[in-house]
Each structure stands twice: as C-alpha cells, then as structure tokens.
Chain A
Amino acid sequence: MNKTTDIAVHINDIHKEFILPQSKNTSFKQAAINIVKKNNKVTQKVLDGVTFDIQKGDFFGIVGRNGSGKSTLLKLIAGVYSPTSGSIGVNGGLTPFIELGVGFNPELSGQDNVYLNGALLGFTRKQMDVMYDEIVEFAELGPFMGQKLKNYSSGMQVRLAFSIAIKAKNDILIFDEVLAVGDEAFQRKCLDVFETYKASKQTVILVTHDMETVRQYCSKAVLLHDGHVIEQGSPRKVANKYSALNQASIDNDVEKANRRLPSKLKVTLANQEGKQAASFDVGEDVSIGVDWSLLDQSVTSIGINIFRQSGEHITGVNTLKEKINIDEKTNLKVDFKMDIRPGKYYILAEAFQGVGNRIDSLEDGAPQFSVREHDVRWSGLVDLQHKWRDI
C-alpha cells in the first residue's frame, strides 16, 4: 500500500513572515511617503522551517507557549493564511474550528445561523439538512430555533455553536483552544466528544495549552518554540518538554524578581550541589542562606518562613527557638527537604534583636522559588513524614 495515501496533512518546510503593522501602509499618503523614503518593511518571522506529517486517524496536538506560532500554523493548515514559502498538502475535506460560531449574526434566527455557519464551514445545504435535527437536539434548543440569536443567552449561543462543531462530520477537524471557553460542564462535554473522536479514529488537529488533554487524548504531538518544531512524536515526551520549557521561563522571572531586594538582608537559594537555583523538584534538598552582614545593629536571632504564593504559611523556623547561637556570625544556612506540593513559593527572612523585636525583614519582593510540576503520590500541601503500621 502506498504510504502517502495515509497522510492527512503534509507540511513541508513552512516559513511565515508578517509585515509589522507600523510599517504597513494604510493610506495613500503613507504609501506615497514610503515610496519616496524607500521604507524598509519590518517583518516578523513567526514560523521558520516547520515540517511534519499528520497521518489519517491521528489525534494530533500542537502545543507551544504564547507566541510560538502555533495558531499561525493552524491558520495555515486551515487555509486562512498562505505560507511565505513551503507547502501544505491537505488530503481530504477539512473543517476548521478556529472559533466557534463563525459568521453568527444576532439578527438572524437560530435556524438561519446554523445554515450560515454550516455553509461557511464548507457544508452544502443538503449536508446541513441531514445534520440539522441532530444539531438542534444536541443543543437542546428545539423550541428556540425560530427566535433571533440576539434573544439567546450567551450560554445558549455557545451551545448552538458547539453543537454544530461536534455534529459536523469531515475527514479532518481542527480545534483551536476550544477548551479555553465555557464552564466546567462545557469542557466536560468537549472532552467526551474528544473521547469519541479518539475511539472512532477521526483525524483531529488540536491546539491547546492543557498538557493533561494532550497526554490523555492525543496520539501524536509537536511542540513549537519560536517558530521551530523542537519536539515531536509521543504526546508524553512533548508534554514533558513543554513543562520544562515553561519552568525555564518561570525560573527566569523569579530571578528577575529577586534582583530588586529592598532589605539589607540577603537570601540565597541553592540546590544539593550548592548551585544557586530557583526551581526544585519535589523532595529535593534546598539550602536557604541568609546574610545579615550589611545590617548595622547586632542581631540576636534569625527567622526563615516559607509561604505558598496563595498565602499559606508552610513553615517558619527561628534560631532562638531552636537554641542556635548566632552571636559571632553574619550568615547562616538552613536546609529543607522540599516535600511540598508543586507550585510557587516565597521566603520571608527576618532578623531580631532581643526577644521579638524585629529589626529587618525581607517582605515585599522576597525571594521566590518554585517546585516543579511532578507526579506526587500524596495530596495536600505537604508530605508529612509518616509510616504505615499494623494496629
């Protein structure tokens, strides 16, 4: 059997550049000025050599951070944009859901809108006649179809648009972040539909931020970053790489935030190897160092607190309470085993003179760190030391 007949979408070395709006001529005057000035157009490269194939029956995920080019790629596949260079081959009928309810007109009845939307999605009147009853039934809007769309609640509008999307049958279906809209029940419905697509080997292309969806439904995925494919193949591999990519960016942000410390206290974070870091694995040993050499007053005790970003006080330790003498010192380290839930945390360091007289603290802009996304075997905020025994 010929291999190419199994390919649903063939993407070959796609490049896409956009002319940035500030250099675009929107009036004759500007166009004339630009001819005289020989204004060089400022272009932005969004996709830079993307190549991959989507096989028939794939549930194909396209993931990437904001601005990585994934929506542009989707619009290229859908035929909304044309590539600057490269080619896209689509084998079979394709229906894109870049947005639900394209062309919906508030002045038209629900029924008219279904047919209008259907036509724009590439269905003939006959095909729509066949699907119409199913769509209405699924949307549970039977008695309202004669009314104008502007009299629908927003929930009813979404339901109608969504019903068209899921009852639409075509060789290839494209969804762009559909899960981002709608309440939990709606998202549940979306996932149920994805389940049936997966079971029936419907070819689906999905752009999403939700790695859970990718892991659960996709059979293949690509990760886009700055216009390049940096990972492709198994959804698990792609999802992990995406998480790592996000983490790197969070570390970057945390570092930036750490740079503007207002207090004279200095707090450092290091991992097991003694290297400075701002993100750690669950269970990793982290040493928090405090340096108060810049403080003029004498310090009798030091406190370290860890807060979850949402405000929960995870732990607080103090040298005085633990009877640690710091009289001759100007810095100190404390090691924690980070058996805490993945997420973002910040540290509050305090210096005291005497008992309870706080002379300095790092409060606003306190150093932050994050515990990496990870499969943990416990729930809640912390993994308390525990042991199972027979009674």
Chain B
Amino acid sequence: MRYLTTKNRAILREMVATDFKIRYQSSVLGYAWSLLKPLLLFAVLYVLFTYIAPIGEGIEHYGVLLLMGIVLWSFFAETTMIGASSIVSHGDILRKVSIPRYLIVIASSVSALINLGLSMIVVFVFALANGITPELSWLLLPLVILELFIFSIGVAFILATAYVRFRDVTYIWEVVLQAGFYARAIIFPMSIVPAELHKWFFLSPIVQIVQDARSLLIPSSDIITIWNTVDNRVAWLIPFAIIAAVAVAGFFYFRRQSKYFAEDI
C-alpha cells in the first residue's frame, strides 16, 4: 500500500494550508489565538490553583507543569474533536472526488500538531524563565509526543467513523473531554492523589504521557510516573497496549467503513 505518494502529499499539504489560512480569518490577532487560547486557560487555572484553591501550593514549578499538561491535553482534545467531525464536514468533497479518506482525518491532526509545536516553544520559554535549566532529557520529548499523536489519531479515526452514522458522537465526546480534563491529572498534581490509587490512574495513556512529559521537562523533580510508582513491570505495558489497540481498531474500523462514507454522509 502506498500511503504517502506525491499526490497524497499534495492533498495533505493543500488541506493543511487551507485550514491554517482560514481558521483565524478576519480576527485581528490571527494565528496567535491558537497560542493564546491555552495560555489564557493556563492563566485562569494558575490563578485559581495558586491563590484561591491552592492545590499547587508548595510544588516546585507548578506553573510550568500545569502549562505542560494543558498544552498536551489541548492537542489531544483538538485532534479528537476536530478529527471526529472532519469526515462529515468534508462531505461535499467526498461525494465529488475520490481522495483517500484517511487524508482528511490526518490533515485535521496535522494542524493540531503544528499548534502543539508552537505551544511547546512557549512551554520551553516559560520553563527557562522559571529558572529551569535545559536538560538532555528534553530531546526525548518528541517520543512522548509521538506516542500522544498515535493515540489521538487512533481515537480520531474511531470517532470520525462513528460520527458519519451517529451524530451523537461529538456531544458525548465533548463531555468525556470535559470530564477527562478535570479527572486526569492535567490540572492537579499526582501527589495529591492517594498513593494506592496511582496505579489506576496510570491505566490511562493520557496520564502516563502527561506525567512522562513533565518528568522529562524537569528531571530533577520527583514527578510521579508509571516507572517509579508501579512495581509490576508487565503493568508498564498497559498504557502502550491500550494505545496500540486503539490505533489498530481505529485503522481497521475506518478502513472498513470508509468506502461507504460518500453515500452515508
């Protein structure tokens, strides 16, 4: 199977460029909004959790850790949410030309990936300003981001396919994302969770990814990760197994249904 032929690359490129150009059309700050959105959310939560409900109190570099969590979560939320409706919103194209359907989902995730890249620059700047020294471990961050990307795109493929038949999907997913944001150690530090519950949290790939990313950013701090809390080494594989299962399921579910997209939309 030839997935990234020059033709497909041309389609991907044009779709991403289109998305990039029209997303913040006729807004004064334009593309800066994709950076400002997570930053403003961060500002609100930072004020909330350091002054009003100080759960971040006493944790070194809480702000940097919070920002890292928000940026990664925003990527996951954006990829899955936009990915979910991508097939339906491009219905007019699908009914007129036969481009590979998966390109549409991938294109929506590439836009989110570009946003993530820009956001990561902000995270680094913020970290340096906070007195965190650059570490060699930062070079491993792309691996964690790759893992997050695979998970997000797997979920996006499943949601996009389901959404063609069931328009309830986006409503449900919106609620799931909202709940996950507050329940998945994005805004609160793992240290406030009772130790015996840690292993259950790490069943979620998102928690594993976010905690690993934080620990790579500030290796000197004692961030709770799956590696230093879960003793059973086989259990370390669980988040990865979940990601693999989601990605494979997404791939096959999407591939099986995609030939009916044009008539089902």
Which residue numbers of A lie inside 8 Å of B, CB to CB? 18, 24-29, 31, 75, 78-82, 96, 98-99, 102-103, 105, 107-108, 112, 115-116, 118-126, 128
Q: Name the contact of A107 in the complex, choosing from B13, B25, B97 (C-beta under 8 A).
A: B25
State whether the Cβ of B182 lies closer than 8 Å to any Cβ in chain A: no
Checking A27, A31, A120 against B99 with a beta-carbon cut-off of 8 angstroms, the contacting residue is A120
- Chain A hits for B233, CB < 8 A: none
Contact status A26-B166, CB under 8 Å: yes
Chain A residues contacting B22 (CB-CB under 8 Å) are: 105, 107-108
Residue numbers in B under 8 Å from A99 (CB-CB): 96
- Given A27-B167, A105-B18, A116-B18, A80 and B10 contact (CB-CB distance below 8 Å): no
Q: Are A112 and B97 in contact (CB under 8 A)?
A: no
Given contacts A26-B167, A115-B14, contact A79 B21 (CB under 8 A): no
Which residues of chain B from 4 to 25 have any CB-CB distance to chain A below 8 Å in the complex? 6-7, 9-11, 13-15, 17-18, 21-22, 25
List CB contacts (< 8 Å) of B111-141 with chain A.
Answer: none
Q: B13 to chain A: which residues have CB within 8 Å?
A: 119, 125
Interface size on B, residues (CB 8 A): 30
Contacting pair A31 B97 (CB below 8 A): no
Q: Are A120 and B14 in contact (CB under 8 A)?
A: yes
Q: Do A112 and B21 touch across chains, with their CB atoms under 8 A apart?
A: yes
Contacts of A102 in B (CB 8 A): 92-93, 96-97
Residue from the set B7, B21, B92, B97 with the largest chain A CB neighbour count within 10 Å: B97
- CB of B254, distance to nearest CB on chain A (Å): 15
User: Cβ of A103 and Cβ of B93 under 8 Å apart?
Assistant: yes
Chain A CB within 8 A of B196 CB: no
Q: How far is the CA of A96 from the CA of B262 in the complex (A)?
A: 15
Select one of A24, A103, A108, A123 contacting B264, CB under 8 A.
A24
Give 19 pairs: A residue, B residue, CB < 8 Å, sorted on A: A80-B97, A80-B262, A82-B259, A82-B260, A98-B95, A98-B96, A102-B96, A105-B18, A107-B21, A108-B18, A108-B21, A112-B21, A115-B14, A118-B10, A120-B14, A123-B7, A124-B6, A124-B9, A124-B10
Q: Contact residues of B with A, CB < 8 Å?
A: 6-7, 9-11, 13-15, 17-18, 21-22, 25, 92-99, 165-168, 259-260, 262-264
B94 and A80 contact, CB distance less than 8 A: yes
Q: Is A79 in contact with B98, judged by CB distance below 8 angstroms?
A: yes
B14 pairs with A116, CB closer than 8 A = yes
CA distance A270 to B17 in the complex (A): 68
Residue of chain A at shortest CB distance from B10: A119
- A108 CA to B21 CA in the complex, in Å? 8
User: Bound state CA distance, A122 and B10, in angstroms?
Assistant: 8
Besides A25-B166, A31-B166, A112-B18, 9 new A-B residue pairs in contact (Cβ under 8 A), listed by A number: A26-B167, A78-B98, A81-B259, A81-B262, A115-B14, A116-B18, A124-B9, A124-B10, A125-B13
A126–B9 alpha-carbon span in the complex (Å): 12
Option from A26, A75, A116, A124 in Cβ contact (under 8 Å) with B7 = A124
* B241 nearest CB across to chain A (Å): 27
| Smallest CB separation, A25 vs chain B (Å) | 6
B98 and A119 within 8 A (CB): no
Q: Is B166 in contact with A120, judged by CB distance below 8 angstroms?
A: no
- Inside 8 A of A96's CB, which chain B residues have their CB? 96-98
Cα(A368)–Cα(B21), bound, Å:
59
What is the minimal beta-carbon distance from A333 to any residue of chain B, in angstroms? 55
Looking at the assembled complex, report how far the CB atom of B21 sits from the nearest CB atom of chain A, in whole angstroms.
Answer: 6
A188 to chain B, nearest CB (A): 25
Cα–Cα distance between A116 and B21 once the two chains are bound (Å): 12
In the complex, which residues of chain B have a beta carbon less than 8 angstroms from the beta carbon of A103?
A: 92-93, 97
